[in-house]
Structure 1
Amino acid sequence: MRAGRGRTWVAGGRGLALTALLGVAALLPGAPATAESAPAWGPCPAEAGAEKASCATVSVPMNYADPDGARIEVMVSRIPALDPARSRGALFGNPGGPGGDSLSFWSGPSTRVPQLREFDLFAVQPRGLRWSTPLSCSSLLDIAPITDRAACEVARPGYPATVTSESVARDMDAVREALGLDRISFFGVSWGTYLGAVYATLFPGRVDKLVLDSNVDPNVSWVDQVARVPAGVADRLNDIFDWIAANDSIYGLGATRDEVLAEWKRQSASQSGGWSSPIVGATTYAAYGRSAWPYLAQGMREYRDDPEQLRFLKYLARPAAVSDMTSGWMRDATRCNEDSGLNPAALTTMAVTLLTDSDPFAQQEALMRAGITCAAWPQTTRRVPVDGAGLAVRPMLVQSPRDPATSGAPAMAAALGGDILWVEGGDHGHFTRPNPTLNTAVLHYLRTGEFTIDSAPEAPITTPNPPTVVPGAR
């Protein structure tokens, strides 16, 4: 996650949906991952959206420092290779967060990139989330952006401290063992890049190929990484507004960046400003992927013509992971367990910024640096220092230089001994978008371990321009 360049000032705001932080007393680095029995496959939960997959549960230790103690369950999805006899091996995946549901991870990509069906595709639902053994943390703090550790502890004593990146990586290895696999390949996005790096550090001999897409910086705290996002989003607005201006004949929002910005400010102010403003939430979401830009432009045009018309803005502004409370609880548990909590020194800066600066992205940054989310959850462990010295194949890292959320590929490549494939533009998450150059390179690496190119163009915008229908889900 990165600081912005040439930051555009904007008025109004909406809180970024925090996506992604356990602690047991000293997890044992050498503790074996143990599963009780072979998985029994059946239908996935209907709400998971994983119709193409089958699912099973695997029993794992709740605390890997006490492998013979209490146990929990994690759910795993599977899409077998089209030709099992010629499968290129097992490919595990994670969508990031932390807090992202994983069971449907391969359903869409395996349709967009059919060559993925050469592999046996698996996704492990991280501990703490629904369908695996969930956290339960409901309390009065639900009204604030804070997860109440005490409430989580009452619901399942000892469990909250084990919800960490390291434990999720160990769960993944327990699943590997339950499946009878000697080695696995892994593809992770965003926080999933750190999860993959932790797995590779703990179990280098179990790793075949490793693809890390849109990388977090393994050397930077979660508080600092999340606090960098608002500036990255603000920087990305220059690209968005340039595109809208170039399409002025369609949207009529201004023929220059400054004219579009002026209209954006007007609409934000008319929506009461602050981070509850639909247009700020919509713009934040659009910063992560170019195919959302026509939705944002159409939403601005419709709102300009009719202030009651918010259908596209609300579609984009809707938080991505509100379907279940466990997403936020697992996200906060992972980050807060692994990072420092409330930062008293930053509280004064936060107060001054909220009182004096109307830029929503500056306000968001100040809030995040104060560590408010972890106010009721002290740090209980340390993040795993990633190291790729034991890997047989150099990892492939995929990164855009203008990604608003992550900029950690150079640091991750240095830590793991990997190679970076740079993708033009600023989208967050690249593989399986409509980008043949990139997809071909990633598939070739997964098949052979060979790194063939170090740059690729950005994916095209695939949304109708202008869009006329709001999609059913995102």
Structure 2
Amino acid sequence: MRKQLLVALAAAALTATAVPAYASPTKSAVNWGACPADVPASLQCASVEVPLDYRNPDGKKISVEISRLPSTEPAKRRGVLLLNPGGPGGLGLALPFTLAQLGVPASLLAEYDLIGFDPRGIDHSSPVNCDLKPDQMSFTPRYAHNREEVVQASAAAKQIARQCAASASAAVLPYLTTANTARDMDQIRTALGEAKISYFGLSYGTYLGAVYASLFPDQTDRFVLDSVVGPTGVDLTTARRFAEGMQDRFPDFAKWAAVRNGIYGLGATPAEVTANFSRIADKLDQHPAWGVDGSIFRLGTHSLTYQTQTFPVLAQAWQALLGNQAPPAGVFQPRATGPEQSQRATMLSVVCGDNAWPRSISTYQRNVVEDRAAYPMIGGATANVWPCAHWPYQPIEPPVQFSDQGPSNLLLVQNTRDPATPLSGALETREAFGDRARMVTVDQGGHGVGLPHLNSCGFGAVADYLVNGTRPATDKFCGAETNAAPTPQQQQAASKLMEQLRQH
């Protein structure tokens, strides 16, 4: 077993909102060794001990597992690039390997040691558990058609919250927050002997990176936030924005399917395809079949719009349902990509612990009415009651506030039609950071910009900044592109990454 590392802490106790001041060593204290068996063997791994509660740095410790893909040219190495795949609850140890498989430039692999990590609470980093049953693994509420179905969703959400409070992990859950994960990142920086870190975060990882940049501005080097969550984090507003993202993104699928009506038979026009969405959903509301009801169909369709490459899978599933046949197994209920108990428990803890959610059922009943009208495709689900409405713990500190005071070294990249993190939230984060940030907006749909096979203009901006330090002088717009199909290796790596994001 690798020797765990106790990272030096500040002598003074940390208050709920204070930022600790750590001295940066000049030499790494990390003893790299072999990774766990489920992590690619080409990576190196180590453990870093961090405080469970940063207000009590001498108290209970937990372990955070980190991984490294070393620079291919140490003489050219700039530093470390920390990575986060999103979630919250996303597995991060394999991410350096995944990025290499996606085909990032050789110059980027030379510039940095790529550093992955399982955030606190997940898999190899002191995993937690809420003893969830298989039918409780998805926290997105069911689609509510009326007030009574909101009451039913509230009861289901309350049961999940109760199970978390009764679990063996209950005492740890309140400390699984974005702010504490950001502090863990700074402990990792310290352990690695780095004065600063660079960062690439996707989806929820953009909020984590933005929180780090707010708590530790002087320790940031080049920060890239891809598919940007709004400045309030994954809260009630962000949950409701999933429905906005679906309405933004679905027309892309409707146009794609209409062009291929001769193959799939989903409609000759985008309007006909959209009408078939409602037709299938209404039918499954009345007569669920093959383990799929209207709510599962709606939310499963949403998750399959994250990548255009999954449109054929979605179209085939629709085709089967329209023909009264079973859709392919696992299409509307994604398979788990890892230790889902710890992922789900951590996700709940972060989402419910970062912000206090409304507790009145009437609030959600009003929201459901509003969002069913504004965003009819899935608004009745995403505005419904989440477990956070019954979470047994109050947040241990206020949410971190973003500020325009600090180094100007943030690059935000965002699609115009993102189904998970809509443009509206990204614009709010951009505004909050002011001159600290630049944003590259890409005229395309889907979740993710800064990956090699998605958009050459958007990815080029990311690579140019991380490798050369060249960031647009002003905000930039990238037009739509018809890209070459990804290689099989790229497609496999991207599918694994997006399959994980679909579950969160």
Same fold (TM over 0.5): yes
Q: Give the conservation status (yes or no) of the 8 Å contact 2:66–2:115.
A: yes
CA distance, structure 1, for counterparts of residue 221 and residue 462 of structure 2: 14
Q: Does 1:63 align with 2:53?
A: yes
How much has 1:304 moved relative to structure 2? 4.0
Tell me whether 187-196 or 382-391 shows the greater mean CA deviation.
Answer: 382-391
CA distance, structure 1, for counterparts of residue 223 and residue 163 of structure 2: 37
Q: Does 1:295 align with 2:286?
A: no
Partner letter of residue 310 of structure 2? A
Q: Give the conservation status (yes or no) of the 8 Å contact 2:53–2:175.
A: yes
Q: Does 1:170 align with 2:180?
A: no
* SS class of match (2:330): helix
The number of residues matched between the two structures is: 439
Tell me whether 114-123 or 351-360 shows the greater mean CA deviation.
Answer: 351-360
Q: Which of 208, 231, 251 is the matching residue for 1:238?
A: 251
The alpha-carbon distance between structure 1 residues 377 and 227, as it changes in their structure 2 partners (threshold 3 A), is: farther
Query: Residue 266 of structure 2 aligns with which residue?
Result: 253
The alpha-carbon distance between structure 1 residues 433 and 269, as it changes in their structure 2 partners (threshold 3 A), is: farther
Q: Does 1:331 align with 2:322?
A: no
Q: Does 1:106 align with 2:119?
A: no
Alpha-carbon displacement from aligned partner over 1:55-114 (angstroms, at most 9, x marks no partner): 111111111111111111000111011112222321111111111111112222212213
How much has 1:418 moved relative to structure 2? 0.5
Q: Does 1:282 align with 2:300?
A: yes
After TM superposition, the structure 1 = structure 2 runs for residues 19-418 of structure 1, keeping only pairs within 5 Å, are 26-30=16-20, 32=22, 38-48=29-39, 50-111=40-101, 112-115=103-106, 116-118=108-110, 119-138=112-131, 143=136, 144-145=156-157, 147-148=160-161, 151-152=164-165, 155-156=168-169, 158-219=171-232, 222-271=235-284, 272=287, 279-305=297-323, 307-308=325-326, 310-311=327-328, 314-315=330-331, 317-318=333-334, 323-344=339-360, 345-349=362-366, 361-367=378-384, 370-380=385-395, 381-391=397-407, 393-406=408-421, 407=423, 408-416=425-433, 417-418=436-437
* SS class of match (1:413): helix
Tell me whether 58-67 or 446-455 shows the greater mean CA deviation.
Answer: 446-455
How much has 1:207 moved relative to structure 2? 0.9
CA distance, structure 2, for counterparts of residue 327 and residue 347 of structure 1: 26
Q: Which of 445, 450, 475 is the matching residue for 1:431?
A: 450
The alpha-carbon distance between structure 1 residues 52 and 450, as it changes in their structure 2 partners (threshold 3 A), is: same
The alpha-carbon distance between structure 1 residues 429 and 270, as it changes in their structure 2 partners (threshold 3 A), is: same
Q: Give the conservation status (yes or no) of the 8 Å contact 1:342–1:372.
A: no
Q: Give the conservation status (yes or no) of the 8 Å contact 1:275–1:360.
A: no
Partner letter of residue 136 of structure 1? N
* SS class of match (2:280): helix
* SS class of match (2:344): helix
Query: Residue 447 of structure 1 aligns with which residue?
Result: 467
CA distance, structure 2, for counterparts of residue 38 and residue 351 of structure 1: 51
CA distance, structure 2, for counterparts of residue 319 and residue 223 of structure 1: 26
- Root-mean-square deviation (Å): 3.4
How much has 1:447 moved relative to structure 2? 2.4
The alpha-carbon distance between structure 1 residues 77 and 358, as it changes in their structure 2 partners (threshold 3 A), is: closer
* SS class of match (2:198): strand
CA distance, structure 1, for counterparts of residue 252 and residue 303 of structure 2: 14
* SS class of match (1:93): strand
Matched-pair identity in %: 32
Partner letter of residue 337 of structure 1? G
Over 6 Å off, 4+ runs? 139-142, 350-358
How much has 1:306 moved relative to structure 2? 6.2
TM-score by length of 1: 0.82
The alpha-carbon distance between structure 1 residues 151 and 397, as it changes in their structure 2 partners (threshold 3 A), is: closer
* SS class of match (2:383): helix
How much has 1:140 moved relative to structure 2? 8.3
Q: Give the conservation status (yes or no) of the 8 Å contact 2:128–2:342.
A: yes
Partner letter of residue 205 of structure 2? G
CA distance, structure 1, for counterparts of residue 495 and residue 217 of structure 2: 41
TM-score by length of 2: 0.78
CA distance, structure 2, for counterparts of residue 122 and residue 96 of structure 1: 15
The one of the two structures with greater contact order (alpha-carbon pairs below 8 A, sep at least 6) is 1
The alpha-carbon distance between structure 1 residues 141 and 295, as it changes in their structure 2 partners (threshold 3 A), is: closer
* SS class of match (2:444): coil
